[in-house]
């Protein structure tokens, strides 16, 4: 009788233990292979030491891994550009408010033009940091720009923007343009 209870108890414990293993969820999985764990960067986790990153994707392709890497890198750069342009426009608008300049149409045009030009110039320093092939054969790449490269490129791009968009900058009174440029340069480390 005691043996039957012990066997029954062990059977229940074994079944309960098996049931709890079914509920295991992975922190990060490949989007195209949800049952397989992926590196955290595939799920857009921040990467220490990099100011700006983007994850790119390319389906398996008969053209080969080189082609897939290029497609995935371009996809990652597009995602970086979208995030960066939104971030920089918001920062510029904050700089305009902080510097006390009125947010008229000329100011908004300058912000949009400078944001576009800065995005194009800044992202040219992005490079592939990591890559991983999923179980389905798709390629994921992490594209990014280091904190130091980002800071250096941003400052150079802001100064170049003043030269490139000089007509817009000249529409401001000189002291207002100088205040805005200085406020933008001060906020580059916050991007």
Q: What is the pLDDT of residues 132-187, one digit of tens each?
A: 999 999 999 999 988 888 887 777 766 776 676 666 556 554 556 566 666 666 66
What residues of the chain score a pLDDT lower than 70?
A: 1-26, 95-104, 106-107, 114, 117-122, 124, 157-158, 161-162, 164-191
Among 187, 90, 80, 76, CA closest to 132: 76
Fold of the 51-190 domain? Thiol Ester Dehydrase; Chain A (3.10.129)
SS3 169: helix
- Tell me phi and psi for residue 48, to 5 degrees: -60, 135
What is the Cα–Cα distance from 53 to 82, expressed in whole angstroms? 11
SS3 1: coil
- Tell me phi and psi for residue 22, to 5 degrees: -70, -20
pLDDT at position 141, please? 97
What b-and-e string marks burial along 146-185, b requiring 16 or more CB atoms within 10 Å of the CB? Answer: beebbeebbeebbeebbeebeebbebbeeebbebbbebbe
Instruction: Name the DSSP class of 70.
Output: H
Claim: this prediction has a pTM higher than 0.85: no
Among 140, 143, 130, CA closest to 60: 140
Q: Is the dihedral of CA 162, 164, 168, 171 positive or negative?
A: positive
């Amino acid at each position: 009788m005691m043996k039957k209870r012990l066997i029954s108890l062990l059977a229940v414990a074994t079944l309960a233990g098996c049931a709890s293993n079914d509920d295991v969820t992975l922190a990060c999985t490949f989007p195209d292979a949800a049952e397989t764990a992926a590196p955290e960067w595939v799920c857009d986790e921040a990467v220490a030491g990099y100011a700006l990153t983007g994850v790119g994707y390319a389906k398996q392709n008969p053209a080969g891994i080189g082609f897939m890497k290029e497609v995935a890198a371009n996809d990652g750069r597009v995602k970086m550009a979208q995030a960066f342009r939104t971030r920089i426009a918001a920062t510029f608008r904050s700089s305009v408010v902080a510097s006390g300049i009125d947010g008229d149409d000329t100011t908004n045009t300058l912000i949009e033009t400078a944001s576009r030009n800065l995005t194009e110039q800044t992202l040219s320093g992005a490079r592939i940091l990591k890559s991983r092939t999923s179980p389905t054969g798709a390629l994921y790449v992490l594209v990014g720009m280091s904190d130091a490269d980002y800071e250096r490129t941003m400052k150079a791009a802001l100064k170049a923007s003043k030269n490139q968009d000089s007509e817009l900058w000249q529409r401001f009174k000189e002291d207002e343009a100088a205040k805005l440029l200085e406020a933008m340069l001060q906020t580059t480390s916050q991007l």
